[in-house]
Structure 1
Amino acid sequence: MNKELEISNQTLIAAVLMLVIGAGIGYFSYAALNAPIVSNSTTMCSVAGATGPFTPDMKKVNDIGSLLQDVVYLQTGENHTVQYVKYTLQDELVVLDYTIDGAYPQEIYTTKDLKYIVQQPTAVDTFRAQIDSAKAQMEAELKKASEPAPKSDKPEVLLFVMSFCPYGNIAENSMVDVVSLLGDNISFEPVYILSGGNGKYQSLHGTNELNQDVREKIIFKKYGAKKWMEYVYDVNNNCTVDNVETCWKDAAQRHDINVSYVEEEYAKNFNAIADAEVAKTNQYGVQGSPTLIMNGKEYSGARSSEAFKAFICSGFSVQPEKCNTTLSTQQGVSTGSCG
């Protein structure tokens, strides 16, 4: 059980104890924001509140409460008061109700002898409905994956990457020959996997990567796919996420890219560029780098130039002669992603 309790007008968010049958306490997530910090003592407060014909062993009730209090401490690094309130019977189980800091309720399910903490019961019908829904979703995804790529006169090719994801860099390097070969026959665009908004954005490998993501997109929009590929290949092989704040300029100068222009666009349009990348990432539901999408269909397979070319060429209504050219089948890493 992993239930999050969000109390309006409060600053404490408590997530519920995850309990595994026979395994005791599995996990507890409890984030305290400006929560009151109690002293180092771990006093357990017991309040009479029994209902029903069954009377629990209060020593065991307090022991379980103390255990819960320790779990909260391990998760937050702070001491919080756990207080027993009452119990109820549910079929063959006992439901112990506690509060954390007097306000945030927590239910613990146990056997009647209070020796075993168990998972919160789920009705078989409810569980079956959840399984059926998951199966239907999986089967729909498998069916979609087996369908051929939609065809068009000029396939739209989107390569979702992060500027310093090693797997994405390998995909970019493999795409160099593909973009060079197919050129204007395809509509190619790199998309940088960003999250956030309102002037606050994140890229998986930190601020330097975020900055370089935006710079590379500026270069693509100004100079086109071929120049972008040449530049990115240079950065991938000669810069690191630690030195890119200076290294990017050296690479730009080697490829006749106007550094001042990139800096001006970066200063003026950073948020607009980042917003567009976030929107496209969300539109396609992309989470991992690299992700290659052609005419709306996601690619799965080898990450060689030839494999990428074959996939993209399958999206032409009428394949151009260039598709008969054989490219390299060598690939750096066949599996793995960032995200």
Structure 2
Amino acid sequence: MVKKKSVIKHEIKHDKAPAKKKRPCMKLIEKLSKNYWIVATVILAILLIGTLVMDNSGNISANKAAQQTADFLNTQTGGGVEVVSVEKSDSFYMITVSYQGQEIPVYTTTDGKFLVTQPTPITDSKPTPTNNQPAQTNAPKSDKPEVELYVWGYCPYGVQAQGPLAEVANLLGDSANIQIVPYHDGHGAYENQQNKIQSCIQELEPTKYWDYAAGFVANIYPKCSVERTEECDLTESTALMKTLGIDSAKVLACVDSEGDTLFTAARQLASTSGVSGSPTLRINGVIVNTARNAEAYKTAICAAYNNAPSECGEVLDSSAAAAAGNC
């Protein structure tokens, strides 16, 4: 056995230079160096935090992606962007942010490196046609224009368009066939449910649909776009149908029995029509670009008549939408 050498400590006194006080960080290092288990615990904690933020594939957590996205958008807009929710959607994080009173969905790749306005699937069973025909301002004429507004049920931009189009539909009545095509549910189950409800009302109660659409924009969307639940959507939709004299039992039975079929048909129609965002206005088979207000929609539709009805002479609200964009 080797004997430990004794160490003699000599205390040296300095008259003019008092001993320096140890900095707090040095005290911590000395304390850690004397206890291996503390060091091991700290290292393990650091590794654990790393695994919570980023997995082995290089992906970051949903919350990290949401905060990173909000920080980036705030640098671009000057501030005011807040995260409402975040959820995984295929190979992306769908992050809903609030900006100037509007809820806007944006997407980031799961590694947090790229911001995407709207992922476009390229593996659908029915591919988007390769028709390079540009969007036109004026549609072909017909005796009774066929008008389709393609939307996601809870897309804020689609809702901005749906309200003014409801005003035009109520003005023109049966002289034009104006429909909503709710073709995508990127916000989740509550949006999928609303898409089916609107499709079923158009099937069962077409004359009352646009009153429902106006009520949805004014009353249901402001509440349920915040709660983001199927319960809110169902409760508020049922109450609105009752107010308008729509048989909610029949509508909900249609949702259960025909909802999937109607939703699939809407998706296929959007795909074959070259629709790439919500809202998209299509008149007599041609995508039309116009301002999103009642007067602009009326003008675009009335230009598509062979003989426009007298209602086309009425002037509607031309107030611009608060924001122009697409889901």
Query: One fold, TM greater than 0.5?
Result: yes
Deviations 1:260-299, CA, capped at 9 Å, x for gaps: 1112111211221122111211121212111110011212
Q: Which residue pairs with 2:320 in the alignment? A: 331
Task: Give unpaired runs (5+ residues) of structure 2.
Answer: 1-53, 61-129
- Are 1:303 and 1:334, in contact at CA under 8 Å, matched by a contact in 2? no
Q: Which residue pairs with 1:232 in the alignment? A: 213
Q: Which residue pairs with 2:127 in the alignment? A: none
Q: Which residue pairs with 2:202 in the alignment? A: 220
Among 117, 135, 155, the alignment partner of 1:165 is 155
- Are 1:161 and 1:191, in contact at CA under 8 Å, matched by a contact in 2? yes
The alignment of Structure 1 onto Structure 2 pairs a total of residues equal to 197
Q: Which residue pairs with 1:210 in the alignment? A: 192
Deviations 1:41-84, CA, capped at 9 Å, x for gaps: xxxxxxxxxxxxxxxxxxxxxxxxxxxxxx9945368xxxxxxx
Q: Which residue pairs with 2:143 in the alignment? A: 153
Q: Which residue pairs with 1:64 in the alignment? A: none
Q: Which residue pairs with 1:44 in the alignment? A: none
The higher relative CO (CA closer than 8 Å, separation ≥ 6) is in 2
Q: Shift in Å at residue 188 of structure 1? A: 1.3
- Are 2:279 and 2:326, in contact at CA under 8 Å, matched by a contact in 1? yes
Q: What are the equivalent positions in structure 2 for 1:243-282 lying under 5 Å apart?
A: 243-282=232-271
Distance 1:218 1:72 in 2: 43
Larger relative helix fraction? 2
Deviations 1:179-216, CA, capped at 9 Å, x for gaps: 1111111111110123xxxxxxxx11111100110011
- Are 1:164 and 1:236, in contact at CA under 8 Å, matched by a contact in 2? no
Among 128, 151, 164, the alignment partner of 1:174 is 164
Among 60, 75, 90, the alignment partner of 2:58 is 75
- Are 2:183 and 2:263, in contact at CA under 8 Å, matched by a contact in 1? no
- Are 1:193 and 1:286, in contact at CA under 8 Å, matched by a contact in 2? no
SS state of the match for residue 152, structure 1? Answer: coil
Q: What are the equivalent positions in structure 2 for 1:129-140 lying under 5 Å apart?
A: none
Q: Compute the TM-score of the two structures, normalised by the length of structure 1.
A: 0.54
Distance 2:239 2:308 in 1: 39
- Are 2:290 and 2:300, in contact at CA under 8 Å, matched by a contact in 1? no
1:186 is the counterpart of 2:176: yes
One-letter amino acid of the counterpart of residue 179, structure 1? A
SS state of the match for residue 193, structure 1? Answer: strand
- Are 2:164 and 2:292, in contact at CA under 8 Å, matched by a contact in 1? yes
Q: Shift in Å at residue 141 of structure 1? A: 4.1
Distance 1:178 1:287 in 2: 24
One-letter amino acid of the counterpart of residue 177, structure 1? E
Distance 1:255 1:177 in 2: 16
Deviations 1:223-257, CA, capped at 9 Å, x for gaps: 11x41111122122222142212211111111111
- Are 2:139 and 2:286, in contact at CA under 8 Å, matched by a contact in 1? yes
One-letter amino acid of the counterpart of residue 181, structure 1? L
Q: Shift in Å at residue 333 of structure 1? A: 2.7
- Are 1:162 and 1:289, in contact at CA under 8 Å, matched by a contact in 2? yes
Q: Which residue pairs with 2:20 in the alignment? A: none
Q: What are the equivalent positions in structure 2 for 1:18-167 lying under 5 Å apart?
A: 73-75=56-58, 141-142=133-134, 145=136, 148-167=138-157
Distance 2:196 2:306 in 1: 34
One-letter amino acid of the counterpart of residue 319, structure 1? A
Task: Give unpaired runs (5+ residues) of structure 1.
Answer: 1-70, 78-136, 195-202
Distance 1:214 1:270 in 2: 5
Distance 1:296 1:333, change over 3 A: farther
Distance 2:291 2:285 in 1: 19
Point out 4+ residue stretches in structure 1 off by more than 4 angstroms: 71-74
Larger relative strand fraction? 1
Deviations 1:136-186, CA, capped at 9 Å, x for gaps: x99x645x636x421111111001111111111111110122111111111
One-letter amino acid of the counterpart of residue 303, structure 1? R
Q: Compute the TM-score of the two structures, normalised by the length of structure 2.
A: 0.56
